[in-house]
Amino acid sequence: MLSGIMATTQRIPVAILGATGTVGQKFIRLLEGHPLFQVHELVASPRNRGKRYLDAVHWHETVSMPDSVAEMVLKATDDPLESEVLFSGLDSSVADEAETAYASQGKLVISNAKNHRMDADVPLVIPEVNSDHLELLRVQKHTGGIITNSNCSTMFLAMALAPLHRRFGVTDVHVTTLQAVSGAGYPGVASMDILGNVVPYIADEEDKLETEAAKILGSLADQRIVPADFRVSAQCTRVPVADGHTEMVSLRFENKPDISEFKSVLREFTGPPQEHRLPSAPARPIHVLEQPDRPQPRADVYRENGMVTWVGRIRPCPVFDYRMVVLGHNTVRGAAGAAILNAEMAHALGYISQGLMR
């Protein structure tokens, strides 16, 4: 899947911020053997500064910890870093200040945290949908830069909405999420709270779904984003699923398609990551399933390296125009995999060269 140019490029040393967390571990797993980026530094909280990674982390990936990181000594966010490109899985309580500081030092921060997503000069990117928004890097106030990916649930909603909105004009969206426990990080929700239960509240989550999709699907004009003009009503729940956020979505359109047009627009959707044949890009970002009981987290979420948005149960809605069920892997395409694809896209568009940005 590699382009010839990437295959011959020397790997770029990168740091992982929040390396001990759920997303940080996924970064380590996904960057192992990556053709473009090489993990050079690991960063966590001051309580873990100076420890070997294997002594500090509670490793819960299903593959062994790569030897290349096990003996690395953890740095903290106020230590100087050699890497120019930083992947951030920092807790939001520290991400704002730390990411701003690194970007001011000239680093390119590619973040999962919520803190900078809605900043006017920060691109909030799904590269299949709005890689043109990376242009904001050129006007960002930092000497380096910050690129963000969306909230994990927004990722799959915005991905599924993108081709439909562009073709038929979405006006109203109602979404109810069933979100996996891995979305809450580690240790996350107490087992006594979640086993055999549904928790109908995730702090700040509904607001993210109701605002971030409009920014992602917005248009770039005079180096600012004009948000897309549709309304989203979101209800978010935590469910006892390990990985994979499921979303029950109802939609209304300006120009209502017929059901075969609806499905084919989703199936045929591709974007710049596929054109550039980026290493982490799925061949098709959206897969439509026809089985009446799919998608399901256990059956589908690990397929296609976790980088695909699954859509099923597309059918008419007696209140809105259509209904569908959307599913994606929250820590892969909803977090670390999304950030890595953003970095690959930024590199392909010339925003990152060896040790130098913009």
Ligand X SMILES: NC(=O)c1ccc[n+]([C@@H]2O[C@H](COP(=O)([O-])OP(=O)(O)OC[C@H]3O[C@@H](n4cnc5c(N)ncnc54)[C@H](OP(=O)(O)O)[C@@H]3O)[C@@H](O)[C@H]2O)c1
Q: Which listed range, 112-120, 135-143, 168-176, 233-241, lies at the site for ligand X (CB under 6 A)? A: 112-120
245 is catalytic: yes
Which of these, 123, 351, 326, 341, lies nearest to 218 by C-alpha position? 123
Tell me whether residue 23 or residue 228 sits nearer to ligand X (CB atom).
23
Stretch that binds ligand X, among 90-98, 160-168, 254-262, 294-302 (CB under 6 A): 90-98
Residue (of 128, 113, 185, 118) closest to 309 by Cα position: 128
Nearer Cβ to ligand X, position 192 or 203? 203
Q: Check binding of 271 to ligand X (CB under 6 A).
A: no
Q: Token digits for 327?
A: 């599913």
First to last CA, the chain: 26
Least separation, in Å, of the C-beta of 230 and ligand X?
23
Looking at 116, 142, 165, 245, which residue is catalytic?
245
Is there a catalytic annotation at residue 152? yes
Closest approach of ligand X to the CB of residue 186, in Å: 4
Kindly write down the DSSP assignment for every residue of 153-165, as one continuous string: HHHHHHHHHHHHH
Please identify which residue in 6, 22, 39, 136 interacts with ligand X, judged by CB under 6 A.
22
Q: Which is nearer to ligand X, 19 or 136 (CB)?
A: 19
Instruction: Of 87, 94, 112, 126, give the one whose Cα is nearest residue 183.
Output: 112
The answer, yes or no, to whether the previous bond of 295 is cis (omega within 30 of 0) is yes
Catalytic member of 142, 152, 174, 347: 152
> Judged by CB under 6 A, which of 334, 341, 345, 352 binds ligand X?
334
- The answer to whether residue 152 forms part of the interface with ligand X (CB under 6 A) is yes
Residue 202: CB minimum distance to ligand X, A: 11
Q: 219 vs 114, 144, 165, CA distance in Å?
A: 21, 24, 12
Q: 3-state class of 350 per DSSP?
A: coil
Stretch 48-67 residues interacting with ligand X (CB under 6 A): 48
Answer for which of 21, 144, 145, 297 binds ligand X (CB under 6 A) is 21
Q: Is 186 in the site for ligand X (CB under 6 A)?
A: yes
- Measured from each CB, the residue nearest to ligand X is 21
Among 140, 182, 280, 309, binds ligand X (CB under 6 A): 182
Dist. CA 86–CA 99, nearest whole Å: 9
Sheet containing 245-253: order of strands: 231-238, 170-179, 245-253, 322-328, 309-316, 286-288
> In angstroms, rounded to a whole number, what is the distance separating the alpha carbons of residues 139 and 143?
10
Report the nearest approach of ligand X to the CB of residue 333 (Å). 10
Backbone angles phi, psi at 224, to 5 degrees: -140, 160
Nearer to ligand X, 48 or 280 (CB): 48
112 binds ligand X (CB under 6 A): yes
Note if the bond before 318 is cis, omega within 30 degrees: no
Positions annotated as catalytic residues are 152, 245
> What are the residues binding ligand X (CB under 6 A)?
18-24, 44-45, 47-48, 77, 89-92, 94-95, 112-114, 152, 182-183, 185-186, 330-331, 334-335
